[in-house]
Amino acid sequence: MNLALLMGNRFNPWHLRPFRLLPNKPHIVCFRAESEIQRYFSERDDGSARFPIEPIFFDTQAGNPLIRIKNRLLERYAHREPRILPFADRLQQFDLIQTWELFTDWTEEAVNAGSRFRIPVSVMVWDNIPFNMETSPAIRRRKQKVIESASLFLVYTERSRRTLLLEGVAEERIIRINPGVDVELFVPGQADRAAWGIKEDALVLLFVGWFLPRKGLDVLLFALHELVHHTRLEKRDIRLLIVGSGPGRERIEQLIERLGLRQHCLFIGSRPYSEMPSLYRLADIFVFPSVPTPQWQEQFGMALLEAMACGIPTVAAASGAIPEIAGDAALLCQTADFVALHDALEKMISDANFRTSLGQAARLRAETYFDVRKTAAELAAAYEKLLGKSF
């Protein structure tokens, strides 16, 4: 069985893990484009889910040199989005094509190849905003073409399923599977705080993610400023560990300085995926302060699942699919609201028994619903239904 994975410039080790666990070990090839985003993901790649890579290219990277220069100038000065160069002909040898999202260039290439070579196409949809990304008639036409042509639509959340229904996908063409985290790798355990210069009696908050405004680190810093000046908490040694990289670091550094939080914040940078469990275990509380935007809401939150699997009590903003994923195993608060986030954190910090019970509930929920091995089994079952034979 030959399986093509088309995720453009969004390949990362945590999303590839279910495919590594598929039964019967199909031959899997990733069609990947390089970009700043992909380089960020590659910083965390420990090689644990490595598949052969076939390069694909944006029209700012390859093709006619003069057109390439023109496209780079339009990208820089006119905010034109680069386009993936056609590669459908290279998909002819595959038995199944798995692509991501309705609106992407690579999904259009997938359905082109599917129609031309009679190959089933499965589309994974994380988007949870109806009619999203329709910034031009061309993208609207692309989405409609995918809706009409794809063989199967996979979703991780009920919100994504309902989004597809609103956009006109028939219910019988949608299969929901749960996202998965490796609950044998991400487990509760002791942490080596001394290795990071953190005192054992410190109260450690943990943020994992990009520095983009939509990830909510700015909101968390506002709440942290209030926490360290809270009369009941002013004697607590409260630390914020920041794990991540990417655009926005300078903005965050400036905000930390402006709020006088330098002594409370520790940047760890991006770390290989295999090191992440030990970083989660450093935390007393994991904070997931996601902020919705007109074109994006939290789609399921892999860092949230990882923290839950490690038994870390979590405070999260109720953005997008977070309530659906967290259930009653996290303390939720209003999005983009530093006061609400402060109040939730203050409650969590002040009640050790509550933290313990919430951490235990989080681990149980991760084991019950979000084991990546179950995700792989559900994925295989969906493919078997599509192909009409054992996968």
In 3D space, the residue among 90, 116, 77 whose CA is nearest the CA of residue 30 turns out to be 90
Fold of 2-180+371-387: Rossmann fold (3.40.50)
| Residue 234 scores a pLDDT above 80 | no
Q: Which pLDDT belongs to residue 14?
A: 80
Pick the CATH number of 193-369 from 3.50.50.60, 3.40.1830.10, 3.40.50.2000, 3.40.50.300: 3.40.50.2000
User: Region 87-111: what's the mean pLDDT?
Assistant: 97
Give the three-class secondary structure for 177.
Answer: coil
Question: In the 3-class helix/strand/coil scheme, how is 33-55 assigned residue by residue?
Answer: ECCHHHHHHHHCCCCCCCCCEEE
Burial letters 132-153, b for 16+ CB under 10 A, else e = bbbeeeebeebbebbbebbbbb
Which residues touch 368 (CB under 8 Å, ≥6 apart)?
none
Q: Is the pLDDT of residue 330 over 90?
A: yes
Taking alpha carbons only, the member of 114, 122, 137 closest to residue 26 is 122
Predicted pLDDT at 58: 86
As a whole number, mean pLDDT of residues 334-339 equals 98
Q: What is the mean pLDDT of residues 196-207?
A: 95
> Tens digits of per-residue pLDDT, 28-74?
999 988 877 767 666 666 565 579 999 999 888 888 888 888 888 88
pLDDT average, residue stretch 239-247: 92
Domain ranges of the chain: 2-180+371-387, 193-369
Neighbours of 49 (CB within 10 A): 20
**Residue entry with tokens 């914020």:** 240
Taking only the tens place, the pLDDT of each residue in 141-188 is: 999 999 999 999 999 999 999 999 999 999 999 999 999 999 999 999
Alpha helices (H) in 150-267, listed in sequence order: 158-166, 217-228, 249-259
Do 175 and 386 contact (CB within 8 A), yes or no? no
Measured CA to CA, the distance from residue 221 to residue 231 in angstroms comes to 18
Question: What is the mean pLDDT of the segment spanning 327-335?
Answer: 98
